[in-house]
Structure 1
Amino acid sequence: MLSGMRPTGRLHLGHYHGVLKNWTRLQHEYDCFFFVADWHALTTHYEDPRVIKDATFNMVVDWLAAGVSPSSATLFVQSRVPEHAELHLLLSMITPLGWLERVPTYKDQQEKLKEKDLATYGFLGYPLLQSADILMYRAGHVPVGADQVAHIEITREVARRFNHLYGREPDFEALAEAAISKMGKKPGKLYRNLRKAYLETGDTEAVETAKALLKEQQNISLADRERLFGYLEGTGKVILPEPQALLTEEAKMPGIDGQKMSKSYNNFIELREDPDSVSMKIRKMPTDTNRVRLTDVGDPNKCPVFELHKVYSDDDRLKWVVDGCTSAGIGCLDCKKPVIDAIIAEQAPFIERGAQYESDPDLVKGVIAEGCERAQEAARATLEEVREAMGISWRS
């Protein structure tokens, strides 16, 4: 599983509830690679790259503070694994220009960032760089929101095209049959029956069952498994597996003005903010404008504070807010206090862990260096297969 973030410096609670909270769960369920997408930052901020280094350090500290563990996941910086650039280049040789131009965010970002000159080769090609990031680690899943599914789809198309062009080995069928024999008599027979069901009748359930069967096999190598994935569908060896989008719920973390929390709106609470600052920001939040006096009744659905309650309060607390607000039984400061307490309690472990890492920058640099080394080892293995498939491997 692979996911990345552009280096934007210190993170806020929107990042935590939208991404990091999910990462801390996924790191115990998948072999996870989390990376700082500093090359992606250059696609839109190439004119002022000086801030990227400090932003990277601060962001990684926040990842660690939030509970992302270097013992459970690989944390690395994209530009320190140059294999990403080579795979991007090689994939660019086979990717039709129209595929990049039709990515929805291409024109959308150009429209939103009119003040920037984005008529660059790098910006046009950033979806393919994303594809290279994913395919480099043969990621089975990529956690994305609904608005990012198009990026996964182009990655699947690129992988499919690559496998179609380069996946056929000279002795592919003989190697595939030999791999089936290694599975054992019963699993091998089941695989053959499932393959036949798919190729003769198009039974998609048979494909999924066969893929699950292959993942369970301990008697075959990774190369044999990839061969049999391709043999199953009547193609060649699957060198670059097609990833699946792991849909995540849209972040519902509102800012202190009721809009989506964002640095652009200056309505954010940092992941590790001083408790007094948190308290002050929440206390100053606007509420239902109809509640001028304590005795005035209000409507929680018109109050930004209620949006925060939806994130931090249970059903009983939400009922208390609705009943108290609509009957003028509680004041706005009374309503805000549970939110303040909840945010401060949530942030306490982040602040404690973050302070430890900030006081020892070499520890953070060590985490990054170790992660880059692990990522590069995996990247080299993939790239060597890609080079060999394309006929540009010069190993003796």
Structure 2
Amino acid sequence: QEEDKYEMFVFLADQQALTDHAKDPQTIVESIGNVALDYLAVGLDPSKSTIFIQSQIPELAELSMYYMNLVSLARLERNPTVKTEIAQKGFGESIPTGFLVYPIAQAADITAFKANYVPVGTDQKPMIEQTREIVRSFNNAYNCDVLVEPEGIYPENERAGRLPGLDGNAKMSKSLNNGIYLADDADTLRKKVMSMYTDPDHIRVEDPGKIEGNMVFHYLDVFGRPEDAQDIADMKEHYQRGGLGDVKTKRYLLEILERELGPIRERRIEFAKDMGEVYNMLQKGSEKAREVAGQT
């Protein structure tokens, strides 16, 4: 955004949210404003980035329909990201059709804007590859070069590529109730950090502890700055040899997180004072996004 080299499009995926919340639309409606506040609080600037609502761009649904004819059901079922999420959500044999085909909708979200680059977590690599397949199939089928093959941009810090939940399971997700949210106040953040999964065998302070699978150290690796590296390394070594309690490591993580999230929280509070302006921003962004998608 700040390099002024790229035109950025960022959206709120309200239609995709319906794939597993179809019977709870009010939650999705309320989430639109909250996600918009999150975007603004972390630094997205509507004067430099187009922020829009997915459901306000009917061209995306139209593209999805075209793409469905180019992707087999077997190919969708092989998508490892989809398979993992189906298991996590416990759908069993009752998988909503919309959920199974959402990789196709994601391809439409990307290609409608002829995106060259898509910032994603490492768990989304299969989605990017499936989008690239759809682009090739479409361009070959219709002997054209209308669609652009996107490239994924992945976090340099591999530990940040797929952030686990506070409980150590899967990834951080609101639907799994295992996440830290930008709207969390300081007390809520403290309670969540103090409840984080560590090493279940590290019962006494003097016991040697394990680093791998310990969410406190995973989060320290993700959120620690370069100047924190030596302190984190020393803490890991101390924890592994014994003599360092979980409470102390969690308090240190809390300091790190509060340093990063505190300013974001304050900006979010300020933006929330004028929700009318926030929704006005979304309307303008959606109008621009629809114009661009319509050209595709």
The percentage of counterpart residues that share the same residue type is 36
After TM superposition, the structure 1 stretch with the greater mean CA deviation from structure 2, 337-346 or 253-262, is: 253-262
Distance in 2 between residues matched to 1:280 and 1:63, nearest whole Å: 24
Q: Deviations over 1:313-335 (max 9, x none)?
A: 42221233135445666554443
Tell me if the contact between 1:323 and 1:329 (Cα under 8 Å) persists in the aligned partners.
Answer: no
Distance in 2 between residues matched to 1:331 and 1:99, nearest whole Å: 48
Distance in 2 between residues matched to 1:266 and 1:60, nearest whole Å: 20
3-state SS of 1:301 partner: coil
3-state SS of 2:9 partner: strand
The answer as to 2:86 corresponding to 1:117 is no
Tell me if the contact between 2:46 and 2:281 (Cα under 8 Å) persists in the aligned partners.
Answer: yes
The answer as to 2:18 corresponding to 1:42 is yes
Report the TM-score, using the length of structure 2 for normalisation: 0.81
Distance 1:242 1:357, change over 3 A: same
Report the TM-score, using the length of structure 1 for normalisation: 0.62
Distance in 1 between residues matched to 2:240 and 2:275, nearest whole Å: 51
Correspondence for 2:152 among 236, 242, 245: 245
The answer as to 2:251 corresponding to 1:274 is no
Unaligned runs of 5+ in 2: none
Query: Hey, what does 2:64 align to over in structure 1?
Result: 88
Tell me if the contact between 2:12 and 2:54 (Cα under 8 Å) persists in the aligned partners.
Answer: yes
Distance in 2 between residues matched to 1:50 and 1:88, nearest whole Å: 25
Tell me if the contact between 2:167 and 2:196 (Cα under 8 Å) persists in the aligned partners.
Answer: yes
3-state SS of 2:17 partner: helix
The answer as to 2:114 corresponding to 1:138 is yes
Tell me if the contact between 1:32 and 1:74 (Cα under 8 Å) persists in the aligned partners.
Answer: yes
Distance in 1 between residues matched to 2:235 and 2:126, nearest whole Å: 40
Distance in 2 between residues matched to 1:92 and 1:81, nearest whole Å: 18
Q: Deviations over 1:158-198 (max 9, x none)?
A: 3223323334xxxxxxxxxxxxxxxxxxxxxxxxxxxxxxx
Amino acid at match of 2:180: I
Superposed, 1:203-242 pairs within 5 Å as 237-242=144-149
Tell me if the contact between 1:255 and 1:268 (Cα under 8 Å) persists in the aligned partners.
Answer: yes
Query: Hey, what does 1:371 align to over in structure 2?
Result: 285
User: Rg bigger for which structure?
Assistant: 1
Correspondence for 1:307 among 195, 213, 218: 218
3-state SS of 2:115 partner: coil
Query: Hey, what does 2:44 align to over in structure 1?
Result: 68
Superposed, 1:1-396 pairs within 5 Å as 30-96=6-72, 98-112=74-88, 113-114=90-91, 117-118=94-95, 120=97, 122-167=98-143, 237-248=144-155, 249=158, 250-251=160-161, 253-259=163-169, 260-285=171-196, 288=199, 296-301=206-211, 303-313=214-224, 314-325=228-239, 331-382=245-296
Root-mean-square deviation (CA, aligned residues, Å) is 3.1
Amino acid at match of 2:148: P
After TM superposition, the structure 1 stretch with the greater mean CA deviation from structure 2, 260-269 or 32-41, is: 260-269
Tell me if the contact between 1:256 and 1:281 (Cα under 8 Å) persists in the aligned partners.
Answer: yes
Tell me if the contact between 1:44 and 1:116 (Cα under 8 Å) persists in the aligned partners.
Answer: no
Tell me if the contact between 2:11 and 2:54 (Cα under 8 Å) persists in the aligned partners.
Answer: yes
3-state SS of 2:10 partner: strand
Tell me if the contact between 2:11 and 2:53 (Cα under 8 Å) persists in the aligned partners.
Answer: yes
Tell me if the contact between 2:19 and 2:99 (Cα under 8 Å) persists in the aligned partners.
Answer: yes
CA deviation after TM superposition for structure 1 residue 57, in Å = 1.2
Q: Deviations over 1:68-121 (max 9, x none)?
A: 22122111111101111222223345555554454344555444432673253x
Number of residue-to-residue matches in the alignment: 287
Q: Deviations over 1:8-47 (max 9, x none)?
A: xxxxxxxxxxxxxxxx78x855321111122222223223
